[in-house]
A and B are shown apart, each in its own frame.
Chain A
Amino acid sequence: MSTEARAEHFPAADWDGGVFPYRVGHRKLGMWLFIVSDSLTFSALLIGYSYLRASNVWPTPFPFYPSIVFSSVMTFCLLSSSLTMVFAVSASSRGDRARARKWIWGTIFFGLAFLVLHLIEWNHLYSEGLRPFSLPAEWVARYAAPNGPLPSPLFGATFFTITGLHMFHVFTGAIYLSVVAARIGKLKHEDVEISGLYWHFVDLVWMFVFPLIYIMSVDVGAH
């Protein structure tokens, strides 16, 4: 056999056609691809955020208490929901559909808890005067550089856009999971796994949003 032929000889029969090379069905592969593309949408927003943040005076308005504590609780909810999702998938892999369904409802519960807390948080910021296009007057006074530029109203724009898009994902994820839970009797294990992939992805996005949007905006000077 010539070296060229050897180079082209794929080790296993995986790539020779007639089989699933990654040993996953269409839908799971499709979900992975969706996740790749969706994470690029989030990357675009987060990179845009970093770009704007770097070129502006940025307010850092979140006091440790209540903002960070509150958002940590939200984070905790999402992390718990991932854990329950893991239990759901493992129950489903053992064929225990009833238990899988319960764990999925648990996941939805934590997801909804996250949403509710997040909306409270939005409402709180809104009543403080934060808008997509402007900052509360008090923040403007507080974060203006001495004799320099004012803090950027893009804070509100990036905050509401990025967390809003993430919230939308949590919301659609909750709907998706409730469909899975309701129809679990008719679904294959792989379908449960796929919904799990989506859910974990949504959590993972939060693990970028949380530090970049919240932790990076902690008011270190505050009491």
Chain B
Amino acid sequence: MSGETHEAVHRHPAPTGFVWKYIFSLDHKVIGIQYITLALAAVLVGMTMSVLMRMNLSWPGTNWPILGTLFPGGAPGGMMTPEFYLSLVTMHGTIMVFFVLTTAPQGGFGNYFLPIQIGAEDMAFPVLNMLSFWVTFVGFIVILSAIFFSGADSTVGPIGGWTGYAPLSALGQIAGPGQGMGMNLWIISIAIFCVGSLLGALNFITTLLNMRTRGMSLMRMPLTCWAWFTTAVLALLSFPVLLGGGILLLLDRLAGTSFFIPGGLYVSGILSGTNPNFPAHTGGSPILWQHLFWFFGHPEVYIAILPGMGATSHILATFARKPVFGYRAMVFAIFAIGLLGFFVWGHHMFISGMSPYSAMTFSILTLSIGVPSAVKTFNWLGTLWGGRIRFTTAMLFAIGFVSLFVAGGITGLVLGQTSLDLPMHDTYFVTAHFHLVMGVASIFGMFAATYFWFPKMFGRLMNESLGKFHFWITFIGVYCIFVPMHTMGIVGMPRRFAQFTEYEYLKTLHPLVVLVTVAAITTVLVQIVFYFNLFWSIFKGKRAGENPWDATTLEWTTASPPPHDNFAGHLPVVYRGPYEFAVPGAANDFVMQTEPEVTQQPVGSGRERTSGNGHDGHRR
């Protein structure tokens, strides 16, 4: 093995012309940025909807003239109708889960950095990669069109929630406003999204298995790569099931089948089979939809969170200037979480009616996910322990991620027990739980990733003062939003309700409801600072150089931004693990993965002195 690097054969030349360079680009870096842009746009829609919901909850009955002008049907005279609220809930949830949390972490950052971190010049299937983005994009357009096609129904989409529970979702227009064309578009959008994600997942797995550069053994991969890989496996195995379910649901609506529709339904004053608008249905099972949906749905929450976990591990080690504590345990924990994630879907269905034995099995399996989750948490704390911490914005968001993951995870242990879930189900306690552990924690992971990798992607640093301001307001803000929701849930405030004025027992909660809304509006407003920082820094940020954070992995060995083929014609060769910080006797407090060791044997000879784990550096 001659030199430091070996020749890379790039299969597609650098494109010229705007369209091939930026629109239908085959370059994984451009596609990554496209995914991130899509998520940045989608999250604006989702956030706006959440603010509208909060405003309606805390000041029901108020007239918002603008709303009345924009949605004369949904908010006649400026006052929101309950159906309009429900459609906001549905669209907010769907857009956030699918088009924000499934795109940016995996399609965005994964696409950009997985090939670079394993030393590849691109993804395995560049054309497929481009297609998966554009398919996802079409899915987004379709879900947005649900907003407009539901206009005549006075909603901005279907009203059944992001879980699309049957029979509400299966019946068609008769089931209520937004359940006609709006619901069709919702299902079609999700089906399209499934296809896009499957193409992406296939590409990620192939790339990671086949395209690691010389010396990049599995146990030398950054934890980010392990996380993206596991996420891709989860997507590959769970999206097809949702796709299958979606096909059946669409057939129920369009072909008159009854997969999810039981007999004898009496809806909107009409008995099934007595009216041409409501043809006869019989024999289907709404529970079957729940099984198919949640078999996908639970892995989906890990699809959202795992990339954030990877980024957090990576960033904590870099800024604590210490190897990740227990690298191998981290890898196995990621895998254990992914694996167990496929056997716990029933915990969403405890009150749908199931045998107590199945409920107990699902409960025990659910609680057992606490073990690998705790392994990860303690290893993060162990990584921080005794480190010489650099409190950059990226680091703050990574620590925030750990905090939110713990805060939201604890209540998962509550909800995972059948007896406790029965009263808590469908209350704000659940809303609080999943927002903390899945929603906001993943978002924090992405913030951390953005502040951390921005200099690599654009060659400039983001502004740290603005970043820290953004962090602190957001961090305090999200706790102010979601902690009070636990109290509301315990008192018994149901989720997916447009207003609570009719309920005597909830009246005392009103000050909390208003507090949450004020916090939500503040938190949303402070995101303007983030968007500003992002766009301003692209043009005006401080120049970053190749390795502004003194980090060790391969993306920091190449230019910022990296050239079209990532390593300018020469693939790097890897000699050591990803987190060799503070190695005793080394000249710097970090050793790049590409740095050869004089006494080091080539990998695979069986005589190497490091196990490939970062922490070996300490033990030697």
Contact = CB atoms under 8 A, between A and B. Distances in A.
A153 B282 CA distance: 7
Interface stretch (A48-56, A181-189, A213-221): A48-56
Interface in A112-158: 131-134, 150, 152-154, 156-157
Interface string B151-192: 000000000000000000000000000000000000000000
B328 interface: yes
Contacts of A131: 256
Nearest to B209: A21
Nearest to A157: B257
B236 A33 contact: yes
Given A44-B245, A48-B288, A154-B257, A16 B236 contact: no
B255 interface: yes
Interface string A46-71: 00100110011000000000000000
A8 B328 contact: yes
Contact of A52 (B209, B218, B259, B606): B259
Given A153-B258, A154-B257, A161-B248, A33 B282 contact: no
29 contacts: A8-B328, A9-B606, A10-B218, A13-B603, A17-B213, A17-B574, A18-B213, A18-B214, A18-B215, A20-B209, A22-B209, A26-B124, A33-B201, A34-B202, A37-B198, A41-B240, A41-B243, A42-B244, A44-B241, A44-B245, A44-B295, A45-B247, A48-B245, A51-B285, A52-B283, A133-B256, A133-B258, A152-B283, A157-B259
A128 to B, nearest CB: 18
B255 A20 contact: no
B611 interface: yes
Contact of A17 (B217, B285, B291): B217
A55 B283 CA distance: 8
B256 A132 contact: yes
B237 interface: yes
Given A17-B215, A18-B213, A48-B292, A30 B258 contact: no
Closest 6 CB pairs of A and B: A44-B244, A18-B214, A17-B216, A133-B256, A157-B257, A17-B212
A215 to B, nearest CB: 22
A33 B284 CA distance: 32
Contacts of A15: 217-218
Contact of A8 (B237, B258, B283, B612): B612
Nearest to B252: A157
B563 interface: no
Given A15-B217, A154-B284, A133 B279 contact: yes
Contacts of A43: 241, 244
A38 interface: yes
A38 B240 contact: yes
B219 interface: yes
Given A9-B611, A45-B244, 13 more contacts: A1-B606, A10-B217, A17-B215, A26-B206, A30-B128, A37-B237, A44-B243, A52-B259, A55-B283, A132-B257, A133-B256, A133-B257, A153-B258
B245 A17 contact: no
A55 to B, nearest CB: 6
B180 to A, nearest CB: 19
A45 B244 CA distance: 6
A29 B201 CA distance: 12
Contacts of B125: 26-27, 30
A51 B257 contact: no
A63 to B, nearest CB: 24
Contacts of B258: 133, 153-154, 157
Contact of B285 (A16, A55, A157): A55
A169 to B, nearest CB: 13
Interface of B: 6, 118-119, 124-125, 128, 198, 201-203, 205-206, 209-220, 236-237, 239-241, 243-245, 247-248, 251, 255-259, 279-285, 288, 291-292, 295, 328, 574, 603-604, 606-608, 610-613
B526 to A, nearest CB: 40
B346 to A, nearest CB: 14
Contacts of B285: 51-52, 55
A214 B216 CA distance: 51
Contacts of A20: 209-210
Contacts of A40: 237, 240-241, 244
A12 B295 CA distance: 37
Given A26-B125, A48-B248, A51-B285, A18 B212 contact: yes
Contact of A16 (B256, B292, B604): B604
Nearest to B244: A44
B244 to A, nearest CB: 3
A112 B238 CA distance: 32
A15 to B, nearest CB: 5
Nearest to A40: B240
B120 to A, nearest CB: 10
A29 B206 contact: yes
Contacts of B118: 17
Interface in A178-214: none
A69 B38 CA distance: 54
Contacts of A36: 236-237
Contacts of B241: 40-41, 43-44
A28 to B, nearest CB: 9
A132 B210 contact: no
Nearest to A154: B283
Contacts of B281: 133
Contact of A161 (B209, B217, B251): B251
Q: Which interface residue of A25, A40, A52 has the most chain B CB atoms within 10 A? A: A40
Contacts of B217: 10, 15-17
Contacts of B209: 20-22, 29
A10 B239 CA distance: 32
Given A10-B218, A51-B285, A154-B283, A30 B212 contact: no
A14 B512 CA distance: 59
A208 B292 CA distance: 20
Contacts of B603: 13, 16-17
Nearest to A45: B244
Given A52-B283, A153-B258, A2 B213 contact: no
B161 to A, nearest CB: 21
A51 B606 CA distance: 52
A5 interface: yes
Contacts of B203: 30
Q: Which interface residue of B203, B248, B283 has the most chain A CB atoms within 10 A? A: B283
Contacts of B328: 8
Nearest to B199: A34
A18 B612 CA distance: 16
B611 A2 contact: yes
Contact of A132 (B214, B239, B255, B613): B255
A30 B206 contact: yes
Contacts of B257: 132-133, 154, 156-157, 161
A33 B206 contact: yes
Nearest to B216: A17
B251 A132 contact: yes
A51 B283 contact: no
A178 to B, nearest CB: 21
A5 to B, nearest CB: 4
